[in-house]
Amino acid sequence: MKSRVLCSAALLVLASAPLAAQPQGYGLSAAPGYSARAPAPYSGMPVRGGAKSMAASSEMQAVAALKEGMDKLLDFLAKGTAPNNLQVAAFLDREIAPYFDFDYMAQWVAGPAYQGMAPEEKKALAAQIESDFLSTLARNLIGYDGQKVRMLRPRRGARGSVSVNVAIMQAGGYPSRLEFRMSESDDGWKVYDVVANGQSAASYYRVRFQRTARQQLGYVPR
């Protein structure tokens, strides 16, 4: 019970801490002992899809899912009148968020502490990550100016994951290369991490979660 209460305190502080606007990447500055690189699912996380995920067809399924979401996003941005902040935010929440697995991301962010969290705490952490992530994405998309995108060859990752690189052609302020790390869920392939300019969104949130826990509790809940 004590660890759960302490973990709740860490979550409340994490949720109340504002996320600084970052025009490129995710503002990741790795704390000592933490990598700024994109994470792979750790051993305590469930394996998505098993052997099926390792088949070549699974890579194409992941690419198809990502392309579907990217096409929706580019069609929206290609409209004659540039959307305002509220329109972008509403579109991302309605059309793009379903392509991401924020629950899976929250599980990686919390690490071993996730197992000791109550269902409402897990839900709150996933919701906070989703809100911050989509807000950052919305700010970056405001600078989109018709750049073309090109899907690169996917590659298999650890424990059945698939990484898909996307090249942003003639990029200005927007990252010139993005890496989408995907896993297979019951609802199909979803993104659980995005790497921009070598900076991982999931790693940023994990460092932030653990740093907050240490500052407020003196240790990371396990």
Structural domain of 12 = 2-217
List pLDDT tens digits, range 79-106: 867 778 888 899 999 999 999 999 999 9
Per residue in 29-45, pLDDT (tens digit) is 333 333 334 455 544 45
pTM score: 0.73
Query: What does the pLDDT look like over 101-127, one tens digit per residue?
Result: 999 999 999 988 888 889 999 999 999
Torsion sign across C-alpha atoms 124, 125, 130, 133: positive
Asked if 193 contacts 37 with a C-beta cutoff of 8 angstroms, the reply is no
170 falls within a domain: yes
Residue range 133-151: mean pLDDT, rounded:
81
Q: Is the pLDDT of residue 178 over 70?
A: yes
Average pLDDT of span 50-77: 81
Within a domain: residue 222? no
Confidence of residue 172 (pLDDT cuts 50, 70, 90): low
15 within a domain of the structure (yes/no): yes
For residue 220, what pLDDT is reported?
58
Q: What are the b/e assignments for 106-129, b being 16+ CB within 10 Å?
A: bbbbbbebbeebeeebbebbbebb
Q: What is the CATH number of the domain that holds 70?
A: 3.10.450.710
Mean predicted lDDT score pLDDT of the chain: 75
Whole-angstrom CA distances from 189 to 85, 161, 164 are: 28, 9, 12
Domains in the chain, number:
1
Asked whether residue 121 is assigned to any structural domain, the reply reads: yes
Output the pLDDT for position 168.
82
State the pLDDT at residue 176: 74
Q: How confident is the model at residue 194 (pLDDT cuts 50, 70, 90)?
A: very high
